[in-house]
């Protein structure tokens, strides 16, 4: 029975793959990733610069991200998201335990709660401006920027991966709705 259920791993109710909305705008659902929410207590943050997780330091500036895989996003004064396509969430939690040592912190696996949408193309910011009040110009939201914000009424984490590529991490339950929303919004953009 275990094999039977395990074999049925799936992203139920998610739109599969991506959509080319126009030559200048692509939308895709990213494959499942490990996502861990890391909270570090205020009293331990003074030494946060010394923390190494999987050998790499955490970004210390709020609303900045660093790393390739895993990616570390600082989304609050005491909150980081650790995102990885290669590592399992359990491995990330273990890496946090080793990296944070005796510091007061908590790492929680939220991989199944989050789905990542990728929006790419010269008109990506045009599309995103339909749902998000942040200033997404290069000067204000550069290629190392991320933010926990609201998009189309939903709480999301927005990350600028490159000049023309953004990732939206959204609650799994609302991803279908948001996917449809973005496709509809794109009508006016393209």
What is d(CA 13, CA 180) in angstroms, rounded to the nearest whole number?
12
Of the candidates 107, 95, 106, 109, the one whose C-alpha atom is nearest the C-alpha of residue 57 is 95
Classified as helix, coil or strand, 69 is coil
Does position 16 interact with other proteins (CB under 8 A)? The reply is no
Q: How far is the CB of 152 from other proteins (least distance, A)?
A: 7
Choices 20-28, 67-75, 80-88, 166-174; region in contact with other proteins by CB under 8 A = 166-174
3-state SS of 132-173 is CCCCCCCCCCCCCEEEEEEECCEEEEEEEEECCEEEEEEEHH
**Angstrom distances, CA of residue 41 to CA of 59, 100, 147, 178:** 16, 11, 20, 33
Q: Are 136 and 125 spatial neighbours (Cβ–Cβ below 8 Å)? A: yes
Interface stretch with other proteins, choices 21-29, 54-62, 65-73, 103-111 (CB under 8 A) = 103-111
Binding-site member from 42, 55, 68, 102 for other proteins (CB under 8 A)? 42
Q: Among 30, 32, 62, 161, which residue interacts with other proteins (rule: CB under 8 A)?
A: 32
Binding mask 44-83 for other proteins (x = CB under 8 A): ----------------------------------------
The contact set with other proteins (CB under 8 A) reads 1-6, 8-13, 32, 37, 39, 41-43, 104-106, 108-113, 129-130, 132-135, 137, 140, 152-155, 171-174, 176-178, 180-181, 184-185, 187-188
């Amino acid at each position: 029975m275990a094999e039977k259920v395990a074999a049925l791993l799936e992203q139920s109710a998610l739109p599969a793959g991506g959509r080319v909305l126009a030559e200048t705008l692509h939308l895709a659902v990213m494959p499942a990733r490990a996502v861990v929410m890391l909270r570090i207590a205020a009293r331990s943050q003074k030494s946060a610069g010394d923390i190494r997780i999987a050998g790499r330091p955490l970004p210390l500036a709020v609303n900045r991200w660093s790393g390739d895989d895993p990616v570390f996003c600082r989304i609050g004064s005491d909150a980081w998201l650790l995102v990885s396509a290669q590592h399992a969430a359990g491995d990330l939690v273990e890496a946090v335990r080793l990296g944070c040592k005796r510091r007061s912190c908590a790492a929680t696996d939220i991989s199944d709660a989050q789905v990542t949408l990728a929006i790419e193309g010269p008109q990506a910011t045009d599309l995103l401006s339909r749902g998000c009040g942040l200033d997404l110009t290069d000067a204000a939201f550069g290629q190392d920027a991320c933010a926990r914000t609201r998009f189309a009424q939903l709480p999301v984490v927005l990350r600028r991966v490159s000049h023309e590529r953004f990732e939206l991490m959204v609650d799994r339950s609302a991803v279908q709705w948001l996917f449809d929303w973005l496709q509809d919004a794109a009508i006016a953009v393209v």
